[in-house]
Structure formats: structure tokens, C-alpha cells
């Protein structure tokens, strides 16, 4: 009489556990330090690299520091030192050529008129310029006007 005794209880099923990734090593403070210090340093280096290589691939703008320094060197060679290097106008600009014009006052009241062009010659950027000095107008009836003309090509010095 097997029916008098109830069947034995089956063994309890194993509980299903939730999946979890295997334990990993802690990354430590190095990962955080790299994120806080390393990434900004890499960004700053990228900016310096871009600024350092840009003159080799693009012509300077008319009112950029590089263009003003080059124009100042040319004017210094001609013994013309303007009071200020402004206003400088961009006449035209393209990838191959930048044309600029400036009328700058001198300390004696005269003006220096500079028309200059930055252009590519092979893989070098060059500067062609035309500079003349205008004496101040004495009167509207018959003032004297003096002009010193200089036309020259010049290799642009990258700094």
C-alpha cells in the first residue's frame, strides 16, 4: 500500500540568479587622473599644432599680425615708420591670392600708401608690394605732392 504514504517531496529547484558581469579589477585613480589632466593637455597640444601648421597651408589675412610684421619690415627697410598700421583693407581674397591696401599716417603729416599682395609661388608664400609716400596737401589751390614709388617682389618670411 503505497498510496497510504504520500510520495516524498521532490528536491527544491535551484533558484535562478540574475546575470551579473564577472568582477573586474578596479581602475584606480589613474583613469580619473587621465580624464582630468590628460584630455585637456591633448586638446591644448592640438590647438598649438594647428596654429603652428596653419601658415604653411593658408595665406595671412591683411590685418593679421604676420602681415603687419612683414609690412613693418618692408617699411623699415625704406626708412618709413608710420604712426599706426591702420586702417588696412582687404581688396580681394582667395585661396591663392590676398590683395591688401593701406594708407598709414607718418609723424610729419605725410602718408604712406601701401598696396600689397600675398600669393603662392610653388609651395612658398610671397609678398608683392607697391609703396609710395604722399606729402601732406598744403592747400586746396595748389599744394605740392611728392611720391616715392617702390615696386618689388619679396619672399614672405614665416615666423
pLDDT at 101: 93
The confidence band for 143, taking pLDDT boundaries of 50, 70 and 90, is very low
> Can you give the residue range of the structural domain that contains 127?
65-155
The tens digit of pLDDT for each residue in 11-21 reads: 666 666 677 77
Query: Do 50 and 111 sit in the same domain of this protein?
Result: no
pLDDT at 26: 66
d(CA 86, CA 67): 12
pLDDT at 55: 62
Which of 57, 74, 100 is the last residue before a domain boundary?
57
The tens digit of pLDDT for each residue in 64-83 reads: 888 888 888 988 998 888 88
Q: Give the residue from 130, 129, 80, 127 showing the smallest Cα distance to 105.
A: 80
Predicted TM-score of the model (pTM) = 0.55
Residue 8 lies in a domain: no
Of 9-13, 81-85, 126-130, which one has max mean pLDDT? 126-130
Residue 79 lies in a domain: yes
Query: Do 131 and 90 sit in the same domain of this protein?
Result: yes
Residue 14 lies in a domain: no
Whether 105 and 84 have beta carbons less than 8 Å apart is answered as yes
Is 156 or 81 the better-scoring residue by pLDDT? 81
Main-chain dihedrals φ then ψ at residue 154, nearest 5 degrees: -145, 135
Amino acid at each position: 500500500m503505497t498510496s497510504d504514504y504520500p510520495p516524498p517531496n521532490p528536491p527544491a529547484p535551484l533558484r535562478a540568479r540574475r546575470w551579473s558581469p564577472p568582477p573586474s579589477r578596479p581602475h584606480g585613480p589613474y583613469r580619473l587622473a587621465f580624464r582630468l589632466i590628460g584630455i585637456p593637455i591633448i586638446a591644448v597640444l592640438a590647438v598649438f599644432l594647428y596654429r603652428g601648421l596653419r601658415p604653411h597651408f593658408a595665406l595671412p589675412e591683411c590685418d593679421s599680425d604676420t602681415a603687419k610684421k612683414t609690412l613693418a619690415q618692408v617699411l623699415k627697410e625704406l626708412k618709413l615708420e608710420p604712426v599706426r598700421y591702420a586702417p588696412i583693407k582687404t581688396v580681394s581674397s582667395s585661396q591663392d591670392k590676398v590683395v591688401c591696401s593701406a594708407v598709414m599716417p607718418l609723424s610729419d603729416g605725410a602718408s604712406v600708401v601701401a598696396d600689397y599682395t600675398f600669393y603662392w609661388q610653388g609651395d612658398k608664400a610671397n609678398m608683392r608690394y607697391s609703396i609710395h609716400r604722399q606729402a601732406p596737401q598744403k592747400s586746396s589751390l595748389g599744394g605740392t605732392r611728392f611720391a616715392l614709388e617702390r615696386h618689388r617682389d619679396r619672399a614672405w618670411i614665416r615666423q
